[in-house]
Amino acid sequence: MGIDIDKTKFETRDYVEFENRLEENLSVLQELLADPAFGTGNSSIGAELELYIVGTDGNPLYANQEIIDELKDPQLTVELNRYNLEYNLTPYRLARSAFSSIEEEIVKKLREVNAAAAIYDGRIVAIGILPTLKRSDFGDHSVTERKRYQALMSQLIKRSGTQFRIDVNGEDPLKLTMEDITFEGANTSFQVHYRVNPIDFADIYNAIQVVTPLAVAIGANSPTLFGHSLWHETRVPLFKQSIDTRHTDAYRWRNPARVNFGQGWLRHNAVDLFRETVRIYPALLPICAQHSSKQQQEDGEVPSLAELRLHLSTVWLWNRPVYDDAEGGHLRIEMRALPAGPTAVDMVANAAFLIGLAEGIRPQINELLPALPFHLAEYNFYRAAQHGLDAKLVWPHLGQHGYREQTITDIIDQLLPCAQQGLDAIGVPLEESKRYLSVIQRRLIRKQNGAIWQQNKLSQLNQSMSTDNASHTLLETFINHSNSNIPVAEWPL
């Protein structure tokens, strides 16, 4: 999804050719999915972990390329801002202790990246939004030197024609404007990829959409920005607004935001989602591959669908469909709403809970959907991000007659056995599933996730020091606890 490109300026013929290729890609994808054998195989998970680099003073350290040059790890790559990195974790088969393997890899790789960062007096932090960020950490000077980012910024600014406005409510609301998209780099996440058989894609995707609010609330880890206490998952509104090119006008229609929860339930198969992104969103990076996917298909090769994949990388659905030509071609669902941090075990527990719960409700998903119109699922997502474990959601039930709100903690508590059943059904070893779901249960019991711990710690520190000093002290304590890999529910204040 994050492949680099070789140009930053485009002409009308570039868009025409790219759009023709997109139509060809959709046709080829439909043909591929018509084959019952396409994309079948063992389920697996992988992930992308976005990270901050900070100096010894706790402030962002602009050294992502230096660290990559030092480490020479092909799985490590840069992000939009120069103080961010992304580690592409190895995919693992679910039946072979995938979750434990990912946790072990995160711990190992964080240690290696930290060692490389130390050469530049840096440290690596997995946290949704860095509490020590300042306005001066954003702007042209903070952008990583890659043509992809330069082109993306140029295209979004061109379509916006104005400033990007940030307006996030909360205990201490934040309003500001920016002339570029570098606020997007304030958000770091743990993006989980789940390989699924195409025949199951629609039901699994819908189930993931339904339960994502629960995973966002229990895993929240981004409660502040610039010292302002905002949403439990401030990443959600910040990411959406930081690249929103639409003009506000109450009397005109508007295109859907390029960062969104979706347009409705998936009714048929994955092609519908890919087609929707092509129909709704104009191309931002119209760059065609050397060989067309149709020609690749006719030559007996696995089609790359390069243009469709590039286009999807510029539409940031919170749960995004992914086509990959590896291993004969397959489909994945990329779950993008989970934050980075606080620890390896916490991140993996969030992923296990989300996937387990989705698989647990999947057998009943088509009975549940009529009880939850899509706009209420979207409502649940934003309320969970805003209020975290204090949220109330409109939750569907079999045989219901009318709606009622429930506290999100009660919903999660009731559904933990369902998550266990889901993990059992997809072959996750019992010892592994019980371990990670116990991490989730412990957060419920203590009512402490990363966001709540940060809020409480800041409240305590603000009684005796300035906001800036409190943010730096918070970060140092966070780093010490995070490096121990002790679940956040057990962290003392």
Return the CA Rg of the chain.
22
To 10 degrees, what angle do helices 344-361 and 98-118 make? 150
| Residue pLDDT, tens place only, 230-278 | 999 999 999 998 877 665 655 666 778 899 999 999 999 999 999 999 9
> Are 166 and 178 spatial neighbours (Cβ–Cβ below 8 Å)?
yes
At 225, phi and psi to the nearest 5?
A: -155, 130
Mean local confidence (pLDDT), 340-354:
98
Is the pLDDT assigned to residue 2 strictly greater than 70?
A: no
Least confident of 168-182, 214-228, 459-473: 168-182
Domains delineated in the chain: 12-487 (3.30.590.20)
**At residue 243, what are phi and psi to the nearest 5 degrees?**
-130, 25
What single-letter amino acid sits at 49?
L
- How confident is residue 1, by pLDDT bands cut at 50, 70 and 90? very low
> Residue 38, SS3?
coil
* Alpha-helical runs (H) found in 331-403: 344-361, 365-368, 374-387
Q: pTM surpassing 0.75? A: yes
The per-residue DSSP string of 328-341 comes to: G-EEEEEE--SBP-
Closest CA to 156 of 244, 260, 276: 244
